[in-house]
Structure formats: C-alpha cells, structure tokens
Amino acid sequence: MKVLSLRLLLPIAALLVAFGPNPARAQAPLEPAQMSPRTAFYLIWHGVPSPDVRKANSLLALWDDPDFAPVSSAMVSNLMGSSAEKTPKEKLIADEIQQYAALLENSFTIGYVSEPQRRAASNAGGSLNSKPAWNGMFLVYDRTGKEVLLSKAVLRLRTEEKEAPRLSQVTIGGAQVLKAEGKSGISYWAEHGKYAVSTGERSVMEEILGRLDGKLRGAASLTQSAAYQEAQANLGSGLIEFFLRIPDLENLAADSKAGTFQVRPLLDAAGVAALHSVSGHVSFEGAKTHVQAALLGDAATGTPFDVWATGQSSLASLSFVPVDAVSYTSAQLNFLGIYNTVKRVARAAFPQAQQGNADLLDTIAQHKLGMPAAEALELLTGEFASMQTSASMDSTKQVYFLGIRKRPETLKLMRTVFSDQITSERNEDDITFLKISLGGKQGSTQWNSFNLAVAPDMILGANRVETLREVLAHRAHASAVEGLATAPQFQAGRAKFPEHLNGLSYFDFQKVDWQALKDRWIEEAKKSPVARTMNSSQNVVPSSAPDWLAQCNPQVFSRHLHYSVSVSWKDSKGIHWDQWVE
C-alpha cells in the first residue's frame, strides 16, 4: 500500500510544489513534534490553496491559465514517463491524473525513520539473509472528504501489480492494519480515524499510530534533536517544507571496506561529519513566491563547505551588465578549497606506504598547466557569471565571465592549456582577444570556435567577438551608461539579502520577447537533421519540436511573470539559498 500511495501522490505533488505555495499553514497530519527522534527525513505538504489564493499568486495564476495548459499537460506526461514506455494501464493512470489531483487538496506527511541501532548492530553481526532490509518510509494522509477517491486510487494502482500481494489483517497498536506481502517486501496500511497511514515496518506503524492517538505524549521527538533545532528557523511555514538530517559519520559508514579502501577514512578526510542537515520551504506573499533552503553544519575550513567562497559585497562581473539585460547569474566557488579537499581524500585513499600516489595530482597538474595547481588556482577569483541581453534568448548574445588575478600570468596559463587550439590572438589596449577552436586543431578545418576577451580582472567568453566588444564598450563607458545594478527593481530585490553573497541570479521576464523566443525555437527545430527529413506543412511544427510549443500561446508568460531574484551566502552555520519569484 505504501508504494502504491506514494506513486500516486508524489508525481502530482511534484508539479504543484513548483507552482502552488499556500499562504496559510494548515495543520500537518504528522508534525515534527509528533515524529520519532529517529526520523531522518520528512516532507510536509499542506494542501492545495483556494482559488482566490491561486489567482493572486503569479506562478499559480500562470499554472491555471488555459493558455498554459499545453505546457502543464506536457509536464504531467513527462513526469509520468513517455507514452512509448507506458503499458495500457499506466496510460490510463496518466489520463486519470486530473481526477486524482483532487487528493492534493488535503495535506500529507512523507518521511523516513532510521533503523534502530540495536537492530542495525544485530544485522551487522549476522548473516546477510538473517533479516530483511530495513524499510523506514512512511506516509500519513489526511483523508477527510477523500475517503472514496483514495480507496479508488489505491485499488486502481494495486491492479498494476504483476503479481497480486498476499493480504492479511493484523492488529497493531490496537488498530486493524492491512498487511501486504509481495516480491518487493512487506508494507502496512491503516485507515485510522481521519488518517490513512502507510509504512514499510511494523514497528514504525505502531509508533505512528501511538503518536497520532496521543499515547506517546511526552515521548522524545524529532524536535528535540540538535540538527532539527539548528534548522528550525528555516522550517514551519509554506505550502511545503522538508528536512533531511545527515547521518552521523558512525552510521553513514562504519569501518566496512569499499574495494581495497576503507570508507571511514575517506569520509573523515572529506570532513563529512561537519554536515548536519538540509532543510527548506516554499511559501509566498501575495503575488510573490518565496523559496528558502539551507545546508547547515560547521562551516569550518577542511569541510565540504570549502566548495563555496565566503562571498563579496560587490561582484566584479556586474559592472559589465547593461540595464537592459534579460538575465544575470553569478556564483563564487573556492577552487583552491575544492582542490585541497580532493587531495585530502586522495591521500586518505592510499595506505601509508603508497602516499606518494596522492602526489600524482600535483605532478599531472604541473605537467599540464606548466605551474603548480595551487598557483594556477590562485589566479582565479572564484567568480563565474553569465548574462543574456537578447529578448529572444539568442545564444550568440550569451556572455560568460570568469574572474581572474594577474592578467599576464593568466594569459600564460591559457596559452599552455589551450596550446594548439588557439587560432588567433590580438591585443587591443589592455584587452587580449583569443579565438579557441572547439572542433579540430590549428592548421586543420575549423568547424566550431569560441571567442575570449582577457581583461585585467575578468575573462569574457561568447560565440561572437562582436558580442564581447559590445559588453566591453559598456564597461568602458560605465559612468555614462546605466548598468543593471542601477535598476530600481534589481536594487529592491538585492536589498532583501545579506551584504556579502557568493551567488546571485536575476531574471526579468518582462524583457523577454516570448513570441520571438517561440519562433526561434521552432526555426531551430526545423534546422535539425531529423526535422529536415520530415515533410511538414508551414502550419505544422516539425516532429522534432514538442507539440506543446506549437500549441502554447507565448503571451501567457508575460501576463503572469515579472521577475525573479535569488541569492546564496555562506556563514559559520552553512550555506543559505533564498529566492523570490513574481
């Protein structure tokens, strides 16, 4: 029953998660305060919001717009799998998806309870077949008003089983529970008061029923764990919230071996013990949708948090971006921190007598780069950015940025790395233009290339050199030409977040020419090798282009979408992500 119910609810919920935040936080069937302290993961869905709420929110209004129906139908179809891969029964399920979507009007909680340590220790000491694998997944669904539809859905999905499970009634915690035994294992299903409960373990079912009935009032719960309390500020609101507690290192990997290597030393070297949890929620304020998430832990040096840079108050690439840019994204990574982590793990992978093998990384880098890897990485600031200035999202107008230090040394490194792929190089004032072959080497036929411009603090890349010149001209006259950083909408969005950021993304939906974008996509589909072999009329999109593209009215996007701004930052507690969409 558990697998059947999840297969029904999760595909529908996955669609509505992105487009259906709820302003009012309804009571969840199973709240964190009612969950077992061994709960390693949970996801709470608070139910589909009312029509008035949906109409007020930009993303929900887009989803409900009839002109968006071809896109939403395609999303459902893709989520359910391609038609060619479906059995007749699965196709029927896809056709009935709208009917079963009504189940999402009610709330539910999905989660996973870790295996008890005593049982885990017993399994480790016994034979592999002494006990079945632990299956701690559970579902608690508020079936109020949906009893008939839920029963129909479960029965309908049960008919898909290739081999009918063996069913029996058992009593657990004083309640009648349906036990299903099949090739995939054992599951339990109970309709207990207004709740439907499904689990993969008898002990988990007993505990959940006891907590729902209040029999375990005062017992330890998830909310008392240090990981949950650390993440609590990021939980407790929105249409959906989720929490994943990263297991302790002792439980994540004992001293078992993977091949000739022990797992525990590798995890120790990577600093995995510093990771505590992943959490987040989706909510909205009127027309705006708000998404927050965090990876929390001890963000010290020598841990996985070394992947991210500490952040800056001003982004060097932003000075290149004109005010009419459609989109801009910047991220800052700690390349040296990543390299040091790889070296630590590599060193831990070898026995003491073979530690010299770990130094091969430095040797290979020295040979390929012409300088030590650490020295090469120090030439990069860690900032990687991109922007788009074309209203039709033309790829020739897409520009990429890579922050650098010490321009002469960087040019030397680039000449070494690209060597015979450089087909031309010329200097103009303090800018060096390079053309890099992406297909074939110097002296052979060049069928594809990419253009780079090396400025004192930045490497710019684009398909066309003319695009690079436009961007550089904007930077040269920044005092006379307004940039994106001066746009009121951009400033308003940026003001919501901390001063020092290691990631920022902005998209102005109103600057997109949606009809031109659609026309360009269709034209590109016609040029594809598959499309050229098709005999199609002018009024029919070639088979290589999706049907929804031909059927969708592109103006539906401009009616509902305005802009999106998202950021990330790092502090002593971890990495945080925050996004607003209107």
Q: Is the pLDDT of residue 13 over 70?
A: no
Number of alpha helices (DSSP H) and beta strands (DSSP E) in the chain:
22, 22
Task: Return the bridge partners of 435, or none.
Answer: 424, 451
Average pLDDT over residues 414-431: 90
Average pLDDT over residues 182-209: 92
234-283 confidence digits (pLDDT tens): 898 788 999 999 987 666 655 444 444 577 888 888 888 999 999 999 98
Radius of gyration of the chain (CA): 28
Residue 369 gets the label, from left (phi > 0), alpha (psi -120 to 50) or beta, of alpha
At residue 119, the pLDDT reads 55
140-170 confidence digits (pLDDT tens): 999 999 999 888 888 877 776 777 788 899 9
Q: Is the pLDDT of residue 127 over 50?
A: no
313-363 confidence digits (pLDDT tens): 888 899 899 998 999 999 999 999 999 898 888 888 777 777 667 777 778
- Considering only 363-367, 447-451, 541-545, which range has the smallest mean pLDDT? 541-545
Residue type, 220: A
- Reading the block at residue 506, the tokens are 């902005």
- Reading the block at residue 175, the tokens are 């309640």
Residue type, 510: Q
Q: Is the pLDDT of residue 24 over 50?
A: no
How far apart (Å, rounded) are the C-alpha atoms in residues 564 and 509?
8
